[in-house]
Amino acid sequence: MSELRSGGLCCKERERLEFEWLEVRTRGQYLARLRGLDRAEQAEWDRREQAAQAKLVDHDLEHGCSG
């Protein structure tokens, strides 16, 4: 019965999700700069980025640990 609200202390799971999101963004931007992305690839990276961000937002809503 542990209380999950930790008063703004960092949450490991949130940290992980945030890292995943940043990683997807960084990698997509890197590839775009390195060799360019065609429309399908750009759409795929956008989709991945949005999916990763959605997970983070969902976590915030469920867990209330953003900040």
Binding footprint of Zn ion on the chain (CB under 5 A): 11, 14, 63, 65
Other Cβ atoms closer than 10 A to 53: 16
| For Zn ion, the closer CB: 13 or 46 | 13
CA distance 41 to 55: 21
CA distance 20 to 14: 10
* Shortest Cβ 16–Zn ion spacing (Å): 10
* Shortest Cβ 10–Zn ion spacing (Å): 9
* Shortest Cβ 20–Zn ion spacing (Å): 14
